[in-house]
Amino acid sequence: MPDPVPAPVPAAASPAAAREVEAVFRAEHGRAVSVLIRFLGDIDAAEEAVQDAFTAAVQRWPLTGLPPSPAGWIITTARNRAVDRLRRESTRARRHAEAALLHAPDEPAEEGAVRDERLRLVFTCCHPALAAPAQIALTLRLLGGLSTPEIARAFLVPEATMAQRLVRAKKKIRDAGIPYRVPHEADLPARLRGVLAVLYLIYTEGHSATSGEHLVRADLCAEAVRLARSLAELMPGEPEVLGLLGLLLLSESRRPARTGRDGALVPLGEQDRSCWDRALIAEGQEAVRSCLRRGRPGPYQLQAAIAAVHADARTAQETDWGQVLALYDHLLSLAPSPVVALNRAVALAEVQGPAAALAVVEALDLPGHPPRHAVRADLLRRLGQLEQARLAYDEAIATAGNDAQRAFLTRRRSELET
């Protein structure tokens, strides 16, 4: 089915009304889909019903105003649309399904260890019968409402590849008869790795949107942090859960300073650190200290520790880059990947100079990855290789995901002409 995007808002609607509908879509799509999957037991049918409901909302709300409970309106309308569709089917199985829906309560009863509806969806989609990439991609689609291109960017794969992966995951669930069932508490640890990856990627998409006008999607950031808090309450004994929460809190603390008043991107070294959220920093650093006391380091804990080092520095110049590099060395040994190596190269440039970092970046296999082009362009600029830097900036601009990143890179390139 098509990507989950609201239908065009009627021309008579005000811009404010259009923004309200869009905000509800971003905030409630995941919950609505999770509820409808539980009602219907079918992912495609649930997505289609929720999409129908949002299409109706887009047509009605800008003219009549938002209902008292927008989320409840969407869920009820989606359920009614699903029942209407079933009524048009003539098979006995469909009539039985319709009867079950008609007699189902408006809100399914809470059950199992996972009390949060959306976190339940994450655990359910991370079924061991699915390959890890399929688990994560499917959950990003259903929970985050991310489009296929956005998910493809997160996985660094072509859009067509991701579309096929999503279709295969749904087909496997349908053909194997995998139920939409909350796992028992004893089964949660086996699914934890996929759940952590999902929450991390939801936050990553919110932190640096792969498309659109704005650098940040605050709705996705807030949802990822909320789910991470719920997960930490559910599984307080898992250090990687606490590590992820600490990482997200420390990253979120910098959000007020990441863009200027005009929405322009402000890099870490130029941010006004007085704008950082000190309460989130304190909470994130306490999570990191708690992880350290457990002595079981993992990738999310190490990333949180790196974020904590940045938070400790009162100015960019006071950053302990040696410690950051050492933490990246540890992270690269635990979870080697080209993206980790790229981030390590940024720290390497501060410790050993841009030439050492450029040699690492040149060897990375990250075709079409905008951050690689941007880092390479900056290193070339610092080395005085201006013509090559211009070409690298051109590549970064051509592949940049959103308008704010593109504008920042364009400004950086223009500085080479002066």
In-domain check, residue 45 = yes
Q: Are 53 and 32 in contact (CB under 8 A)?
A: yes
Q: Final residue of a domain: which of 49, 83, 102? A: 102
Instruction: Give kind and range of the element (H or E) at residue 262.
Output: none
Among 27-41, 77-91, 93-107, 211-225, the range scoring the smallest mean pLDDT is 93-107
What pLDDT shows up at residue 139? Answer: 80
What pLDDT shows up at residue 167? Answer: 85
Q: How confident is the model at residue 320 (pLDDT cuts 50, 70, 90)?
A: very high
What pLDDT shows up at residue 182? Answer: 62
Q: How confident is the model at residue 100 (pLDDT cuts 50, 70, 90)?
A: low
* Residues 162-195: tens digit of each pLDDT: 888 888 887 777 776 665 566 677 778 888 988 9
In-domain check, residue 347 = yes
Among 8-22, 116-130, 193-207, the range scoring the smallest mean pLDDT is 8-22
What CATH number does the domain containing 371 carry? 1.25.40.10
In-domain check, residue 92 = yes
Q: How confident is the model at residue 200 (pLDDT cuts 50, 70, 90)?
A: very high
Among 76-80, 132-136, 255-259, the range scoring the smallest mean pLDDT is 132-136
In-domain check, residue 283 = no
Q: How confident is the model at residue 329 (pLDDT cuts 50, 70, 90)?
A: very high
Q: How confident is the model at residue 13 (pLDDT cuts 50, 70, 90)?
A: low
What CATH number does the domain containing 20 carry? 1.10.1740
Q: Final residue of a domain: which of 73, 102, 131? A: 102
| Cα gap 367→132, rounded to integer Å | 23
Q: How far is CA 185 from CA 82, 113, 124, 244, 390, in A?
A: 31, 6, 12, 20, 54
**Within 10 A of 182 (CB to CB), how many other CB atoms are there?**
20
Q: Which domain holds residue 84?
A: 15-102
* Residues 258-279: tens digit of each pLDDT: 998 888 899 999 999 999 999 9
What pLDDT shows up at residue 255? Answer: 92
In-domain check, residue 20 = yes
In-domain check, residue 301 = no
| Cα gap 122→129, rounded to integer Å | 14
**Identity at 253, one-letter amino acid code:** S
| Cα gap 140→122, rounded to integer Å | 9
In-domain check, residue 250 = no
Which percentage of the chain shows pLDDT scores above 90?
A: 40
183 or 251, greater pLDDT: 251
In-domain check, residue 389 = yes
Stated pTM of the model:
0.79
What pLDDT shows up at residue 113? Answer: 58
Does residue 415 have a pLDDT over 70? yes
| Cα gap 361→354, rounded to integer Å | 10
* Residues 288-312: tens digit of each pLDDT: 999 988 889 999 999 999 999 999 9
Q: Final residue of a domain: which of 102, 127, 147? A: 102
Among 32-36, 226-230, 288-292, 309-313, the range scoring the smallest mean pLDDT is 32-36
Q: Are 71 and 53 in contact (CB under 8 A)?
A: no
Q: How confident is the model at residue 243 (pLDDT cuts 50, 70, 90)?
A: very high
What pLDDT shows up at residue 115? Answer: 64
**Structurally, how many domains does the chain consist of?**
2
| Mean pLDDT of all residues in 226-235 | 91
What pLDDT shows up at residue 9? Answer: 46
